[in-house]
Structure 1
Amino acid sequence: MINICLIYFYFMVVSSFITFILSLYFMLLDLVYFLEFGLVMINSSLIEMTFLFDWMSLLFMSFVLFISGMVIFYSRDYMLGDLNINRFILLVVMFVFSMMLLIISPNLISILLGWDGLGLVSYCLVIYYQNIKSYNAGMLTALSNRVGDVAILISIAWMLNYGGWNYIYFLGELKGDTYMDIISYLIVLAAMTKSAQIPFSSWLPAAMAAPTPVSSLVHSSTLVTAGVYLLIRFNFAFSDSLCYFLLFISSMTMFMSGLGASFEFDLKKIIALSTLSQLGLMMSILALGGYKLAFFHLLTHALFKALLFMCSGNIIHNVGNCQDIRFMGSLVNFMPLTCVYFNICNLSLCGLPFFSGFYSKDLILEVMSMGYLNFYIYMIFYISIGLTVCYSVRLSYYFILGNFNFVSFNMISESGYLMLKGMSGLIFTVVFMGSLLVWVLMPVPYIIILPFYMKVMALFFIFLGGWIGYEFSKFYLSYKNIFLSMYGFSWFFASMWNMPMISTFGINYYPIILGSYLYKNLDQGWSEYYGARQIYNVLVSSSKSFQFLMFNSIKMFFIMVLIWLMMITFF
């Protein structure tokens, strides 16, 4: 077991460094390598396997490989008691391989292989613990993602109009074409399901039933970022109306998930909702035309979100697999290094200067502020940033400043050295990679010219959100009775505006009622009497009469002859 983990770990880390150096080389010389392998020709449409190597695909691949290597190293300790750890590691490797296939494919058919691979392996990983909760979460995840898979299949069929599936040829030239607009809407639908935008958001917190290393991988750089990456590749073909639609949906997702995380008490679900919030931010700036900024935030977010899940996994491991943050408190006395890492990631998520999250988040906000947009977009961006800080500070308050509410007889300590080593491999990238990527990705810096008050608006909302989160935590701990009277109100926000109920009971309830009605009235009603049962009765009675004839053969024969003679005589 240890050997297979170490082999994959070394392979992925070495591959990550190689692809990172290659991406810098490609960026410096502005190179693009395009490899095509023809598979089969059908009516002048060539089905081919296509690989695209440019600075963007290589850079993203290096990040995915590095994070995956650290997660596999971390899993050696986290999944130590598991009897099927080899199967788990192979599933994770298949997951990463599917993501690689999706990253380097500029062809819709080869993208579908990676896209479906992600959906299938994610289902296997979500149901890994094999209980009813995991099964329900896995079905919700798989079926939500199937909507996007079908959208990709329909867009493959529509691209037959162009005689090929290499969309990278058609994006700029055919912008505004009716067929390309239809394909763009389908691609946006697929990306919305994979990146869990409204109304497909409920599967993302449900997927927390998976083991924590899987959550770390899924929510940082693989499954949920696949939709954003596809939109980054496809963004040149989007019409203005589609961009406005995407901007509205993603801004609502960003706001809804920030609000939901402020009322949630499950540690992994809070971090999952923060992922949803950041995905909304990436899609919003993508819809505003800043695809490079969306890619930049995609990379920085992958680093601190992977480490955030690793820290939470270490904490959950030590507090007897309890995920309720109300039972945690004063953990800095027992797990100082994990709490330091956790806080650094939280501050990076908030966009506090000068962590890696600050460089991408602040730039996105300032570019949005410089644009010509309405008041709704301007305010929902800043309120969502404030909510991000609010739930992050609330989480830190419960961990570090809150009372220790766990059992008195405990053994909380940082004994998992392999987990700490895996986390330590990521902490330097969380702190320094943001500034490095600014220098690398933007040789010509963005020129941002804003008035003083608009310039400090981001900092103002960060500190305002932090203060509200701190007061909110104290308020809940002090005035529980008030909150009990507001239970329905807080439940509505914590349950993501009742979206999980809508996407399970809302889809299941009425078809089941209709099915029972049809079963009662058709299967067991008049159609049964006049249909299958009546046919059965007619066949039985006719076969009985023939049976009567056959069993009385001689006597019946003479009677029939007699009747025949009488008929001849009379007629």
Structure 2
Amino acid sequence: MCSLSFFSLFLSSTFVLLLGVYYLILDYSVFIEWELFSLNGCMLVMTFIFDWMSLIFMSFVLYISSLVIYYSEDYMSGELNMNRFIMIVLMFILSMGLLIISPNLISILLGWDGLGLVSYCLVIYYQNVKSYSAGMLTALSNRIGDVAILISIAWMLNFGGWNYIYYYGFISNSLEMKIITMLIILASMTKSAQIPFSSWLPAAMAAPTPVSALVHSSTLVTAGVYLLIRFSPMLNVYNFGWFLLLIGCMTMFMAGLGANFEFDLKKIIALSTLSQLGLMMSILSMGYLKLAFFHLLAHALFKALLFMCAGSMIHNLKDSQDIRFMGSIVNFMPLTSVCFNVSSLSLCGMPFLAGFYSKDLILEMVCLSWINCFIFLLYFISTGLTASYSFRLFYYSMLGDNNFYSSFSFDDSSHFISFGMLSLLFVAVFGGSFLSWLIFPIPYMIVLPYYLKFLTILVVVLGSYLGYCISSVKFSYNLFSLSILSFVSFTGSMWFMPFLSTNLISYMPLSIGYYSSKSFDYGWGELFGGQGLYSLFIYMINFIQSWYDSNYKIYLLTFILWMLILVMLFFL
């Protein structure tokens, strides 16, 4: 089933990419409507839009999905229910595809809820307490966004339809559209894990690594950014950009800082994804939607490769994810090491790799834009932190001492894993330049002062040196992580967001719901409702039955006697 899924998805990806490039060149789009039924003037319509943006994004999702499924053939080889795993992944791809091609809020909800449900099934795939906790946190955090989309669907009843692209003309003088935009921003923040909903993304690393390569590169976490790209005209009109800009920059800074104090390999890459999502959100809020989309696609390529390399390392290290037990992997797994370092350099913005074309352009546009010093500093400090945790990861895994257990024996012999990594290596090197020529046929001419032009390279070099200093220190009690323990615990735990999410967002509503249902539904509601009526009827039936069981004449004579006594007393 893996091979069949791989070939069908790969061929579909190629066809959809060619169609997307054709539509992009012609500036052409196809809009398909299918009316299901009409109710009181509101038509429930299934709608699809095929333009260059949806088709190119869909082709990238299909391409990465096909390689992830092929990669899973070896990575999940010990899985007894392999077909079930492939079916769940295919359902996930279907949900994402439905979300991408839908300009209609109801069909978007189908894909959106499908992503949430299937991601929960994938996070709890390895059935243990940690996976169950992570799955519940993921599901409850994403439910907030689902409810926001449901409320926005209810608000759009005022317009008589749910195709939001029809109503851009009513934006400037419509309170409903303002409320809908606020709800869509909330939904996008939950799905793309922006502050304060960030804690579910590293927790979702409990899923199998091939799933992480798919989910955290091009599907689940990018759904919120993609939805906001579609709703971007509303952001510009209602001036919600400043809020998203602040949230995106804070998320980017928080994730970059936290990754420098993390030792779990998959969580470091998850925090790196979170940092890049903050970058996409912030640049989108400044009005550069094509640039945000460009970085979304470029990031999908090198992040999927990074996860695949991490999965290869974890698979060979007998499921050990702690980077402190790695070292000198380059001597044993040269192919994986090359792919891993290329994707890390692409993440840092190394010239002429996929990440460079989008990231360098974004930072130059930030230098050119009207933003304050705080946002400017956050952008460049976060870029330096990206280089810092990437170099720290490189030092711990590739260089340094051999810290494995003596029983480990590993190499690059797996054909399936190597093919998946090499296929993504090619696009991680050449994909950025290909996309930049496609999306920006007329290149940006950005003229900056000398010191601003070289600020990006300077920040990356300083960040790499900081990463080297953090990782190469020998153990002593004068270490920064031991001397200022409160700061390290604060930054390393994502600013205590997991505690807030589990206790405030998840635990408190659940406990309030439990006590309210215990008091009302199972308490007073039962007393005055079903159980109370049941008890009353039983009592009445028993009382009447007692009349029948006893001598009825005695009761009747007694009743007549009492009536006579009352009448006599009344007349006397």
TM-score past 0.5 threshold: yes
Q: Aligned runs of 1:429-444 on 2, under 5 Å?
A: 429-444=427-442
Q: Deviations over 1:524-560 (max 9, x none)?
A: 9999999999999999999888777654655545444
Question: Which among 460, 479, 488 is matched to residue 490 of structure 1?
Answer: 488
Q: Could you tell me how far 1:519 is from its partner in structure 2?
A: 10
Q: Could you tell me how far 1:373 is from its partner in structure 2?
A: 1.1
Amino acid at match of 1:197: Q
Instruction: Pick closer, same or farther for the CA change 1:509–1:86 going to 2, 3 Å.
Output: closer
Q: Please identify, of 243-252 and 553-562, the stretch whose mean Cα deviation from structure 2 is larger.
A: 553-562
Q: Does 1:55 align with 2:44?
A: no
Q: Aligned runs of 1:216-295 on 2, under 5 Å?
A: 216-238=213-235, 239=237, 241-295=239-293
Q: Could you tell me how far 1:439 is from its partner in structure 2?
A: 1.0
Q: Please identify, of 354-363 and 531-540, the stretch whose mean Cα deviation from structure 2 is larger.
A: 531-540
Alignment partners' CA distance in 2, 1:470 and 1:370: 31
Instruction: Pick closer, same or farther for the CA change 1:60–1:482 going to 2, 3 Å.
Output: closer
Alignment partners' CA distance in 1, 2:412 and 2:362: 37
Alignment partners' CA distance in 1, 2:520 and 2:438: 68
Alignment partners' CA distance in 1, 2:513 and 2:183: 31
Structure 2 residue ranges without an equivalent (≥5): none
Partner of 1:106: 103
Instruction: Pick closer, same or farther for the CA change 1:140–1:509 going to 2, 3 Å.
Output: closer
Alignment partners' CA distance in 2, 1:124 and 1:292: 33
Alignment partners' CA distance in 1, 2:5 and 2:45: 30
Instruction: Pick closer, same or farther for the CA change 1:42–1:391 going to 2, 3 Å.
Output: same
Amino acid at match of 1:386: G
Partner of 1:134: 131
Kindly, what percent of the aligned residue pairs are identical? 58
Alignment partners' CA distance in 2, 1:514 and 1:547: 44
Indicate if the aligned counterparts of 2:189 and 2:224 stay in contact, CA closer than 8 A: yes
Q: Please identify, of 239-248 and 547-556, the stretch whose mean Cα deviation from structure 2 is larger.
A: 547-556
Q: Please identify, of 351-360 and 42-51, the stretch whose mean Cα deviation from structure 2 is larger.
A: 42-51
Alignment partners' CA distance in 1, 2:516 and 2:147: 28
Question: Which among 67, 71, 74 is matched to residue 70 of structure 1?
Answer: 67
Partner of 1:174: 171
Amino acid at match of 1:340: V
Partner of 1:157: 154
Q: Aligned runs of 1:413-492 on 2, under 5 Å?
A: 413-475=411-473, 477=475, 483-492=481-490
Partner of 1:46: 43
- C-alpha root-mean-square deviation of aligned residues, in Å? 2.8
Question: Which among 407, 410, 416 is matched to residue 409 of structure 1?
Answer: 407
Instruction: Tell me the matched-pair count.
Output: 568
Q: Please identify, of 154-163 and 521-530, the stretch whose mean Cα deviation from structure 2 is larger.
A: 521-530
Question: Which among 500, 503, 506 is matched to residue 505 of structure 1?
Answer: 503
Q: Deviations over 1:367-397 (max 9, x none)?
A: 1110111101111000000010010000000
Q: Deviations over 1:489-536 (max 9, x none)?
A: 212111110001001112355567768988999999999999999999
Question: Which among 184, 201, 213 is matched to residue 187 of structure 1?
Answer: 184
Q: Does 1:32 align with 2:65?
A: no
Indicate if the aligned counterparts of 2:291 and 2:362 stay in contact, CA closer than 8 A: yes
Q: Could you tell me how far 1:434 is from its partner in structure 2?
A: 0.6
Partner of 2:76: 79
Amino acid at match of 1:400: M
Instruction: Pick closer, same or farther for the CA change 1:523–1:432 going to 2, 3 Å.
Output: closer
Instruction: Pick closer, same or farther for the CA change 1:551–1:171 going to 2, 3 Å.
Output: same
Question: Which among 117, 122, 128 is matched to residue 120 of structure 1?
Answer: 117
Q: Please identify, of 25-34 and 176-185, the stretch whose mean Cα deviation from structure 2 is larger.
A: 176-185
Alignment partners' CA distance in 2, 1:74 and 1:543: 70
Alignment partners' CA distance in 2, 1:52 and 1:537: 59
Partner of 1:146: 143
Q: Please identify, of 44-53 and 483-492, the stretch whose mean Cα deviation from structure 2 is larger.
A: 483-492
Alignment partners' CA distance in 1, 2:38 and 2:117: 28
Q: Could you tell me how far 1:331 is from its partner in structure 2?
A: 0.9
Structure 1 residue ranges without an equivalent (≥5): none
Alignment partners' CA distance in 2, 1:422 and 1:528: 59
TM-score (norm 2): 0.93
Q: Could you tell me how far 1:402 is from its partner in structure 2?
A: 2.1
Amino acid at match of 1:171: Y
Q: Please identify, of 545-554 and 40-49, the stretch whose mean Cα deviation from structure 2 is larger.
A: 545-554
Q: Aligned runs of 1:524-563 on 2, under 5 Å?
A: 551=550, 553=552, 555-563=554-562
Indicate if the aligned counterparts of 1:476 and 1:483 stay in contact, CA closer than 8 A: no
Indicate if the aligned counterparts of 1:172 and 1:236 stay in contact, CA closer than 8 A: no
Q: Could you tell me how far 1:142 is from its partner in structure 2?
A: 1.0
Instruction: Pick closer, same or farther for the CA change 1:338–1:519 going to 2, 3 Å.
Output: closer
Instruction: Pick closer, same or farther for the CA change 1:544–1:11 going to 2, 3 Å.
Output: closer
Q: Deviations over 1:135-169 (max 9, x none)?
A: 11111111111111111111111112222211112
Partner of 1:395: 393
Indicate if the aligned counterparts of 2:477 and 2:483 stay in contact, CA closer than 8 A: no
Q: Could you tell me how far 1:340 is from its partner in structure 2?
A: 1.0
Indicate if the aligned counterparts of 1:9 and 1:73 stay in contact, CA closer than 8 A: yes
Give the secondary-structure state (helix, strand or coil) at the position aligned to 2:37: strand
Give the secondary-structure state (helix, strand or coil) at the position aligned to 1:388: helix
Indicate if the aligned counterparts of 1:118 and 1:223 stay in contact, CA closer than 8 A: yes
Indicate if the aligned counterparts of 1:171 and 1:234 stay in contact, CA closer than 8 A: no
Alignment partners' CA distance in 2, 1:105 and 1:521: 43
